[in-house]
Amino acid sequence: MGIFPHGVGTVRTDDIEIRFGKAPAEVNQLYYFRLVDTDWRTRKAAYSIQFEAREGEDIYSGVTLTTPLFELRAPRVRLTVEPSRVKVRILSRVS
């Protein structure tokens, strides 16, 4: 747990893989990462997502989520988009 000014690296568990870039990151709980995009003004899009299936407006299965700060591959996630942030909740660790 702590603050990582130069990024976290890659985190893997079960069918989840998160490859972090070199953005500052805070890890303050076991599987809770908070990233700071220090260059957000230059970005056109916050993220892109590829998925196998979608449930309702915010739940995706077979996901690859790519942002300027990290890439996430996970079996199932909930994506909440707010005006000042994007929150990703991993809902399943295995396919």
- Which tens digits make up the pLDDT trace of 20-75? 888 788 877 767 777 777 787 888 888 899 999 999 999 999 999 998 889 999 99
Asked if residues 14 and 36 have their Cβ atoms less than 8 Å apart, the reply is no
Is-contact 46 67, C-beta < 8 A? yes
Give the domain range for residue 37. 2-92
Per the document, the length of the chain is: 95
**What pairs with residue 32 in β-bridges?**
29
- Decide: 71 and 18 in contact? Cβ < 8 Å: yes
Query: Which is higher by pLDDT, 11 or 40?
Result: 11
3 state DSSP class of 21 = coil
| Residues paired with 13 in a beta bridge | 16
* Structural domain total, the chain: 1
Phi, psi angle pair for 28, to nearest 5°: -120, 0
